[in-house]
Chains A and B, each alone.
Chain A
């Protein structure tokens, strides 16, 4: 199972999907596009503590993190 983690006011929301189930992968892909089109940044781990931004949906990624748009504080 892979997971998409979306930051929100409750800490985070987790959406698990089965990489062997086409429908589940399609849902995950839809969620990826919906969130990134709303300004979320998608990121994945590339090493211990090392992070990379991702711009395209990749079902092979174990854990994708979605960070809301940044503003000056």
Chain B
């Protein structure tokens, strides 16, 4: 099973990285959102975003790790200490915002008010996660 999944995951990662790097150079809403996001990330999170198209945050209440992937829906994945993925969560700011803004809102919510954020979030069991 992994033999089929891994090349696809690598392809998706490369495609996302290319999309992300292209967006950064433009003067579009998408690009402004990404630049805003980058300016609010820690240096470590910025390196993760640039190289993996995703970054990790620590939940303010539980201390759990979450991986926020590039995107605007079902893009938050719990990660255990061994790096194994768990359930996905989905919550977004209202207003049809671009990916960078959504990801920054998710970072701030998880790092400063994890419980409140997860109360409004939809939980997607691991079984149905594709990221």
Contact = CB atoms under 8 A, between A and B. Distances in A.
A9 B97 contact: yes
Interface stretch (A20-28, A29-37, A62-70): A62-70
B44 to A, nearest CB: 7
Interface in B27-50: 28-33, 36, 40-46
B16 interface: no
Secondary structure class of chain B's binding surface, majority of residues? helix
Q: How many of chain A's residues touch chain B, expressed as a range?
A: 20 to 34
Contact of B94 (A5, A43, A51, A68): A68
Interface of A: 5, 7-12, 39, 41, 43, 45, 48-53, 65, 67-73
28 contacts: A5-B36, A7-B95, A9-B96, A11-B28, A11-B29, A11-B30, A12-B32, A12-B101, A49-B40, A49-B42, A51-B40, A51-B107, A51-B108, A51-B112, A53-B112, A53-B113, A67-B108, A70-B91, A70-B92, A70-B93, A70-B105, A70-B120, A71-B92, A71-B120, A72-B91, A72-B122, A73-B74, A73-B121
A15 B42 CA distance: 24
B95 A8 contact: yes
Contacts of A11: 28-33, 36, 98, 100-101
Interface string B77-108: 00000000000001111111110110011011
Given A12-B33, A45-B40, A70-B93, 13 more contacts: A7-B93, A7-B101, A8-B95, A9-B97, A9-B98, A49-B41, A50-B111, A51-B112, A52-B112, A67-B108, A70-B92, A70-B109, A71-B91
Q: How many of chain B's residues touch chain A, expressed as a range?
A: 35 or more
Contacts of B107: 51
The list of the 10 closest CB pairs from A to B, nearest first, reads: A49-B42, A11-B32, A73-B90, A68-B93, A11-B29, A72-B122, A73-B92, A7-B101, A67-B105, A11-B33
